Amino acid sequence: MITLGEYIVKTQSEHPSATGELTSLLSSIRRAAKIVNREINRAGLVTDIIGGSNGSENVQGEVQQKLDVFANDKFKAALEARGEVCGIASEEEDYFVCFDSAKRSDAKYVVLMDPLDGSSNIDVNVSVGTIFSIYRRVSEPGTPVVMEDFLQPGVNQVAAGYVVYGSSTMLVYTTGNGVHGFTYDPSLGSFCLSHENIRIPEEGKIYSINEGNYIKFPEGVKKYLKYCQEQDETTKRPYTSRYIGSLVSDFHRNMLKGGIYIYPSGTSAPNGKLRLLYECNPLAFLAEQAGGKASDGFQRIMEIKPTELHQRTPYFVGSTAMVEKAESFMTKFSSPA
């Protein structure tokens, strides 16, 4: 049994260039995840304090669940408490947040996060997740962070990961050397290595999409869904439809079993629903590190040059063969925006 902390130190020692700052940063994320995990597990018991909505809306116009705000505050505080992070951007923050540490020349990282994705599922006891993405700052060390520090393409990520608060709580991350999963053991209060070097199956038989939006889908998506539902012995179709409505949970299942998750553009959401910077890019980094693929239906997600902090993008992510098949239908039946 090896804990997350021990594993980070062990693998860091294999990279002499690593200075330990990323190690400390990942440890702060681990700490916040334990605190959020505890409150999620209590949500049903203390709805007046933790569960339900707090009545306010975030920049997306989405009603904020109390736990959204709680999670945002805990991750922000944990990241600010260590000296490696200059600032953060979050789904729950209208603008990026500059930390005092930005005035220190050795604070070299920025973190972008969705502190509690799928939080509307909490009241009905469906799993939710935290997603994080880590970059080196591009602005002058020792100065306040600027928007360019956050508007970097996904290929610049130095680390990314998620926490899935499900039947068990897992933290899954990559620093560019494979994807590794750790399961939380409440009796120890530690995340323990349970899934070393996760590889997403090249082919999968599961597709995840909200078919309630079918009428708004691009023609290429409609044709791909028809393909998934056809009878074909050789490719073991029809595939299985699985949609939890919680991105991290759908993504995590597909990572382990193979599959594709699609949130396409639609007439009411011309760029889809998911955010490029703190949902699509970190999961794309993980998918690619595990041998999978992530695109907007036409181009690699991690090569998109961001222009806005909360910009959205259509999203196709999962088993490489499935994503490429979906892209072939997108190319054949609809042109890029």
Residue 241 β-bridge partners = 207
Q: How many residues bind ligand P6P (CB under 6 A)?
A: 8
State which of residues 273, 293, 310, 312 lies at the interface with ligand P6P (CB under 6 A).
273
Residue 296 has, within 13 A of its CA and on its CB side, a CA count of: 25
| Interaction residues for ligand P6P, span 183-242 (CB under 6 A) | 210
CA distance 219 to 204: 22
24-32, 167-175, 243-251, 328-336 -> range binding ligand P6P (CB under 6 A): 243-251
Site string for ligand P6P, 130-169 (x = CB under 6 A): ----------------------------------------
Please say which residue, 68 or 149, places its beta carbon nearer to ligand P6P. Answer: 68
CA distance 319 to 291: 8
Are residues 289 and 255 in contact, defined by beta-carbon separation less than 8 angstroms?
Answer: no
For residue 17, say whether it is annotated as part of any ligand binding site.
Answer: no
Sign of torsion over alpha carbons 26, 32, 35, 38: negative
Please say which residue, 25 or 262, places its beta carbon nearer to ligand P6P. Answer: 262
For residue 243, say whether it is annotated as part of any ligand binding site.
Answer: yes
26-34, 46-54, 192-200, 246-254 -> range binding ligand P6P (CB under 6 A): 246-254
Please say which residue, 78 or 128, places its beta carbon nearer to ligand P6P. Answer: 128
Determine if 270 is a binding residue for ligand P6P (CB under 6 A): no
Are residues 83 and 101 in contact, defined by beta-carbon separation less than 8 angstroms?
Answer: yes
Spatial CA neighbour of 255 closest among 300, 287, 285: 287
The kind and range of the H/E element at 329 are helix 320-333
Q: What is the CA radius of gyration of the chain?
A: 19
State which of residues 68, 84, 117, 149 lies at the interface with ligand P6P (CB under 6 A).
117
CA distance 316 to 326: 8
> Minimum CB separation from ligand P6P for residue 209, in Å?
8
For residue 120, say whether it is annotated as part of any ligand binding site.
Answer: yes
> Minimum CB separation from ligand P6P for residue 62, in Å?
7
**β-strands 169-174, 128-136: how paired?**
unpaired
Give residues in contact with ligand P6P (CB under 6 A).
Answer: 117-118, 210, 245-247, 250, 273
